[in-house]
Amino acid sequence: MTETDEKKLERRQFLARLGKAGISIAAAGVVSSLLYDGKGPTAAGRGEKVVTLPDFSVKGQAGKVIAVVKGVDRTQTVNKAIELLGGIGRFVKPGEIVAIKPNVAFAVPAMLGATTNPDLVAAVIKLCYTAGAKDVIVIDNSINNPASCFGISGIGRAAAGAGGRVVLPKESLFQNTSVKGGKLIKDWPVLVSPLEKVNKLIGIAPVKNHSRSGASMTMKNWYGLLGGRRNVFHQDINNIITELALMVKPTLVILDGTETMMTNGPTGGAREDLKQTNTMIVSCDQVAADSYGCSLLNLKPADLPYLAMAQNAGIGTADYESLKPILAALS
């Protein structure tokens, strides 16, 4: 089966599952390029100066690297998890500009779990403003039409309601970027321009099964910063996820396992794909966060090669237990 045939098959399967969930094609906004944009935005002026992303990380505090909170209310669990790590003031300072990178890949409603939950996005924006943030932007280069994705997922409205500002991708916002020592991200268009004046970067991702990588969590979430014909990287999925994590050094990652997509990821298409797992993971270490998230998918870190690769590259640790996660449960 050719890659084109594979795309067509995945497209038909996704449409069928949306139909079973009672969602019309028009309502889902998936009238074109359902599973990924074959070309995507291209960087202006290929061959121009190659840039690198800033380091948005904060200095670690012993015993306060990862927090895991059990509960059903996303706002409560994320607030508690960040509190356990030292509070939002540890990560966001007065006057700073914060970028939030949710997963807004698909033009489907939040109830299907294929995108970051909009209430969670709103909760994190509000936390940033509580810490004195000057501005909070929300960015993603969606697979489907970005305006449709932000609209139908509910993330656009939720962000605006919390005082955030959605920056939709356009060609002029991409710059050629290379990862030091990378083999894939070399002189590649990346959504860099919105981050140039940003002080802190927070990634927010759902826990999902993924047909190619095994799982889609916080490290895979950075895929949404790539432009160009990024679908070619799926042929080397473990290396591209590792390079993405090398490229992006976030302030925090938030892994939402309140509901986990157990099957048919990353698109899903039916509520039956989801399992209530009532877990919120917040960490300064994206490798540790994803390693913990494996358990929600009934996987072990060793089942996902990119976790060991990221650990070997010095990005973080797949041995999250060594970080002594702070655990809590909300009634």
C-alpha–C-alpha distance, residues 245 and 222, integer Å:
7
Q: How confident is the model at residue 38 (pLDDT cuts 50, 70, 90)?
A: very low
Query: Which residues face 206 on adjacent strands?
Result: 256
Mean pLDDT, residues 50-68:
89
- The reported pLDDT for the residue numbered 21 is 46
Residues 22-46: what's their mean pLDDT? 40
The CATH number assigned to the domain holding 125 equals 3.40.50.11440
**Which of the four pLDDT bands, split at 50, 70 and 90, describes residue 285?**
very high
| HSE value, Cβ hemisphere, 13 Å, CA-based, for 326 | 18
Nearest-angstrom CA–CA distance, 74 and 204: 12
- Cβ within 8 Å of residue 288, ≥6 positions away: 65, 66, 316, 317, 318, 319, 320, 323
Cα–Cα dist 248/74, whole Å: 25
Domain that holds residue 219: 3-329
Listed in sequence order, the DSSP H helices in the chain are: 3-20, 25-28, 74-84, 118-130, 146-152, 155-161, 237-247, 286-293, 305-312
> What is the per-residue pLDDT across 145-181, written as a single tens digit (0 to 9) for each?
999 999 999 999 999 999 999 999 999 999 999 998 8
Query: Is the preceding omega at residue 266 within 30 degrees of 0, hence cis?
Result: yes
98: amino acid identity, one letter: V
Q: What is the per-residue pLDDT for 62?
A: 74
Give percent of the chain above pLDDT 90: 82
Instruction: Indicate the number of domains in the chain.
Output: 1
What's the predicted TM-score (pTM) here? 0.89
Q: Given a cut of 90, is residue 45 above it in pLDDT?
A: no
List the structure tokens of 315: 């990005």
Res 35 pLDDT > 70: no
pLDDT score recorded for residue 32: 32
The CA distance from 298 to 257, in Å, is: 12
pLDDT of residue 2: 42
Q: Are strands 188-191 and 200-210 parallel, antiparallel or unpaired?
A: unpaired
Using CA atoms, how far apart are residues 232 and 240, in angstroms rounded to an integer?
10
Q: How many CB atoms lie within 10 A of CB 27?
A: 13
Residue 289 has pLDDT above 80, yes or no: yes
- Condensed to tens digits (0 to 9), the pLDDT of residues 241-252 reads 999 999 999 999
Give the H/E segment covering residue 166.
strand 165-167
How would residue 63 be classed by pLDDT, with cut points 50, 70 and 90? confident
Annotate 103-147 with DSSP letters as a single string.
---SSS-GGGSSS--HHHHHHHHHHHHHTT-SEEEEE---SS-HH
CA gap 247, 18 in Å, rounded: 34
Rounded Cα distance between 244 and 253, Å, is: 14
Tens digit of each residue's pLDDT (9 = 90 or more) over 168-220? 999 999 999 999 889 999 999 999 999 999 999 999 999 999 999 999 999 99
